[in-house]
Amino acid sequence: MAQRVAPDGGNKKTSRVRVAVRLRPYMSKQDKKDEGPCVRGLDSQNLEIINWRNATETVKYHFDVFHGEQTTQQEVFLSSVKPILPHILNGQNASVFAYGPTGAGKTHTMLGTSEQPGVIPRAVREVFNLVKAKDEDEGWDYSIGMSYLEIYNEKVLDLLSPGSQDLPIREDKDKNILIPGLTHTPISSFSEFDKHFVPASLNRTTASTKLNQRSSRSHAILLIKVVRTQRAFPHRQQTGKLYLVDLAGSEDNRRTGNQGIRLKESGAINLSLFTLSKVVDSLNSGTAVRVPYRDSKLTRLLQDSLGGSAHSVMITNIAPEYKYYFDTFSALNFAAKSKLIVNKPFIRETVAVPVLPVKRSREDHEAGGSGT
């Protein structure tokens, strides 16, 4: 993949955020009107969506990677996440985040199910494998630890210590971002990870079942930290951080008519997501004078792991049903490297319904089509 060279010759290290888009399968139960999909993949980097301004046009988008509806969890992991993991054993930082409207597949992508595990369990297993495969002779000892937190209403909450208060985000003299007071638990195997992670995830979801909104309104952030220490003098130590983030839903809550307290929440969520989009934009355009990390908790926390020398991937999840149309459109506009309006009707190959004996509606349709 061609890497964009920063206009200043790369002297200010701002690595691009790789952008992948994942389209989940069409679900007819999500689409009572049975209108069929409004978006479809073209190849491994391009997709098209109907242009609402003009139904005879489609808008074609180009990304680093496009994962179509048939893509497996394994394929998403192998192509978008696995390649960046070796860096965290070398003291570098990385982040993977799932973006997109509620219902489009962020949690499926990040967490998945026991039958179809997502990015989080696969990445954690892989980190343990990488550490195990390290050559004794290289002379480093490795230790792995985890933290798990949530940003909700611009508050930082420790998911490994339920009931904790809003935690501060600080920066040390080496520009590392840290959260004093955040639980950090050493883990020595995947099952030990699971033992801490599963109840904490359940905490998060049960606390929110009465308003399932919470899980769609908060950013869930898993941190895996790998510290390696040189066995011989001078015992150098390096820390690599991996952030795995299931972001709040990107839907526009003003449009869905939320009010009062929830509107306030939406505002705060939109602040973090809006700032994230500005940060990603300025990193990817390579022209940033100032990357606005400090404007929200989410971007402040990710500051040392997004852009700079960090390795970052954003997986934008989208859904094919019409009811998601405007949220899909805005997610794509955020994610796309480029877009193009194509003047041709959207061909609905997926709605090849058998011809029924009643012909009337079909004739009506044809007559209507030629008359105007």
- For Mg ion, the binding residue among 107, 201, 250, 316 (CB under 5 A) is 107
Q: Are 291 and 307 in contact (CB under 8 A)?
A: yes
Interacting partner of 219 out of Mg ion, ligand ADP, none (Cβ under 5 to 8 A depending on kind)? none
Kindly state the number of chain residues that form the binding site for Mg ion, as judged by CB under 5 A.
2
Q: Does 106 bind ligand ADP (CB under 6 A)?
A: yes
Sign, CA torsion 87/89/94/96: positive
Among 106-114, 127-135, 143-151, 302-310, the segment contacting ligand ADP (CB under 6 A): 106-114
- Residue among 128 and 322 whose Cβ is closer to ligand ADP: 322
- Residue among 100 and 307 whose Cβ is closer to Mg ion: 100
Interacting partner of 240 out of Mg ion, ligand ADP, none (Cβ under 5 to 8 A depending on kind)? none
Nearest CA to 181 out of 160, 195, 167, 162 is that of 167
Q: Are 48 and 60 in contact (CB under 8 A)?
A: yes
In order of 57, 207, 258, 277, 281, the CA distances from 325 in angstroms are: 15, 30, 19, 19, 22
Residues 3-62 contacting ligand ADP, CB under 6 A: 24-25
Peptide bond into 117 cis (omega under 30): no
Residues 202-221 contacting ligand ADP, CB under 6 A: 216
Task: Give the C-alpha separation, 141 to 163, whole Å.
Answer: 35
Q: Does 100 bind ligand ADP (CB under 6 A)?
A: yes
Q: Are 69 and 25 in contact (CB under 8 A)?
A: yes
Interacting partner of 100 out of ligand ADP, Mg ion, none (Cβ under 5 to 8 A depending on kind)? ligand ADP
Interacting partner of 162 out of Mg ion, ligand ADP, none (Cβ under 5 to 8 A depending on kind)? none
- Residue among 183 and 316 whose Cβ is closer to ligand ADP: 316
* Tokens found for residue 146: 């985890």
- For ligand ADP, the binding residue among 15, 80, 93, 102 (CB under 6 A) is 102
Among 42-50, 104-112, 140-148, 360-368, the segment contacting ligand ADP (CB under 6 A): 104-112
Sequence letter at residue 310 = A
Backbone Cα Rg of the chain: 22
In order of 67, 254, 345, the CA distances from 353 in angstroms are: 26, 37, 19
Provide the minimum distance between the beta carbon of 195 and ligand ADP in the complex, in angstroms, as a whole number: 23
Sequence letter at residue 18 = R
Where along the sequence are the contacts to ligand ADP (CB under 6 A)? 24-25, 100, 102-108, 216, 317
Where along the sequence are the contacts to Mg ion (CB under 5 A)? 106-107
